[in-house]
Amino acid sequence: MGLDLLIPFGILIILVIYLIYTRNNFEKDITKLYEKKFDEWKKHSTIKEEKTSHKKLVGLVFKTDYKVSIELLDEEAHSQLLRGKFEVSNIKDK
């Protein structure tokens, strides 16, 4: 009678050990696959850097009689002034 219950429990224990072993192998394979995919993603992804804009003093504006003159400290702004790409704002309004 004891032998009758021993065989099903033995089969059950062998089945549980087999399932645990296959599950561990499956998890290891999946983690290796995702780590490989993550490394590939890091190689091909572009990191977007935030651009911070800041004010830079490039020239001085003077008014003599009815004429406005601009004296540049940095020549980078010269082409933008010639193209008319500038903004006029009043400091008192801010």
Q: Is the pTM of this model over 0.85?
A: no
Please check the confidence at residue 90 and state whether its pLDDT lies above 80: no
Averaged pLDDT for residues 22-29: 97
- pLDDT digits 0-9 by tens, 26-38: 999 999 999 999 9
For residue 42, how many C-alpha atoms fall within 13 Å in the half-sphere facing its CB? 6
Q: Supply the DSSP string of 32-54, one letter for each residue.
A: HHHHHHHHHHHHH--PPPPP---
Of the pLDDT bands very low, low, confident and very high (cuts 50, 70, 90), residue 2 is: low
- pLDDT digits 0-9 by tens, 35-75: 999 999 988 887 777 788 888 888 888 888 888 888 888 78
